[in-house]
């Protein structure tokens, strides 16, 4: 069943204090992780992640406070010519290996009859953010169909026709790709009227948040924690419906 009009953005309210789950040592851990990322030291990054989780930190906290913030910093450094593209690619490669290692902890105890499509927009090659969002769906019992970098809208439409997803989630890292996202939303709205669309990514730190409001079925979610709470609210609402 598609999540349509009754599941609009104004239904869901979040306590922003609950979303701010960063532990006091998070910045120090992130700094160490970032330094190891930039040197391409996978073994040290893996040790940092395992220690973080062993200290009772959640995967959501790991994704938001360590991995996401580190990769946003890498992106800023690349845009400001403080690192080269090779270093940026190396850091991304290390993080993707880390996500694969962590994935075994993502599998939920209970699987719901809910499906999501999680994808980058066309021309977007930064897939780490949307991969973490895909994992958050799975941790909450959803079946998440993850599409990586630069999947064409036409291919996504054909796939969506087959599986009939309950939610679409799109990520944009480069601000120049925000118009591409808007075009995708319009195309999907034409094909699947009213289907709920979640959007996010580093690009929205600069622009595009206000423009999302013109699409009543599209919701901007700023971080991992808010996305997790949002999905949980959908699950709770369905149980009580």
pLDDT above 80: residue 26:
no
pLDDT at 239: 63
How does residue 21 score in pLDDT terms, banded at 50, 70 and 90? very low
Same fold, 5-18+108-240 and 20-105: no
pLDDT above 80: residue 134:
yes
How does residue 197 score in pLDDT terms, banded at 50, 70 and 90? very high
Does domain 20-105 correspond to CATH entry 3.90.226.10?
no
- Which residues, in sequence order, are CB contacts of 64 under 8 Å at separation 6+? 21, 22, 223, 224, 225
Measured between alpha carbons, how far is residue 92 from residues 183, 206, 210 in Å?
27, 22, 29
pLDDT above 60: residue 16:
no
pLDDT above 70: residue 72:
yes
pLDDT at 240: 61
Q: What is the dihedral of CA 118, 119, 125, 127, to 10 degrees?
A: 0
Stretch 25-53: mean pLDDT: 93
Stretch 31-47: mean pLDDT: 96
Domain positions in the chain: 5-18+108-240, 20-105
Write out 86-105 in H/E/C secondary structure.
HHHHHHHHHHHHHHHHHHHH
| pTM of the predicted model as reported, rounded to 2 decimal places | 0.88
Mean of the per-residue pLDDT values for the chain? 87
Are 164 and 2 in contact by the 8 Å Cβ rule? The answer is: yes
How does residue 149 score in pLDDT terms, banded at 50, 70 and 90? confident
Stretch 180-198: mean pLDDT: 94
Q: Which CATH class is domain 5-18+108-240?
A: alpha beta
How does residue 8 score in pLDDT terms, banded at 50, 70 and 90? very low
Residue whose structure tokens are 């690009």: 203
Choose from 21-25, 104-108, 188-192 the range with maximum mean pLDDT.
Answer: 188-192
**Percentage with pLDDT > 90 across the chain:** 72
């Amino acid at each position: 069943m598609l999540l349509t009009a009754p599941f609009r953005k104004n239904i869901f309210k979040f306590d922003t204090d609950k979303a701010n789950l960063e532990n006091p040592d998070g910045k120090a851990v992130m700094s160490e992780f970032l330094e190891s990322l930039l040197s391409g030291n996978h073994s040290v990054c893996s040790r940092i992640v395992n220690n973080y989780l062993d200290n009772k930190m959640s995967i959501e906290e790991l994704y938001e406070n360590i991995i996401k913030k580190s990769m946003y910093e890498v992106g800023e450094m690349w845009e400001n010519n403080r690192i080269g593209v090779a270093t940026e690619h190396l850091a991304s490669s290390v993080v993707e290996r880390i996500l694969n290692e962590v994935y075994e902890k993502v599998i939920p105890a209970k699987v719901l009859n809910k499906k999501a499509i999680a994808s980058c927009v066309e021309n977007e090659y930064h897939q780490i953010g949307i991969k973490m969002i895909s994992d958050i769906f799975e941790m909450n019992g959803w079946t998440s169909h993850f599409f990586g970098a630069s999947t064409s809208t036409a291919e996504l439409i054909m796939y969506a026709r087959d599986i009939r997803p309950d939610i679409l989630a799109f990520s944009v890292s480069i601000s120049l790709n925000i118009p591409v996202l808007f075009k995708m939303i319009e195309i999907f709205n034409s094909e699947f009227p009213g289907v709920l669309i979640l959007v996010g990514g580093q690009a929205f730190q600069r622009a595009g948040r206000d423009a999302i409001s013109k699409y009543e079925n599209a919701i901007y979610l700023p971080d991992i924690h808010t996305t997790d709470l949002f999905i949980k609210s959908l699950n709770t609402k369905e149980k009580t419906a």
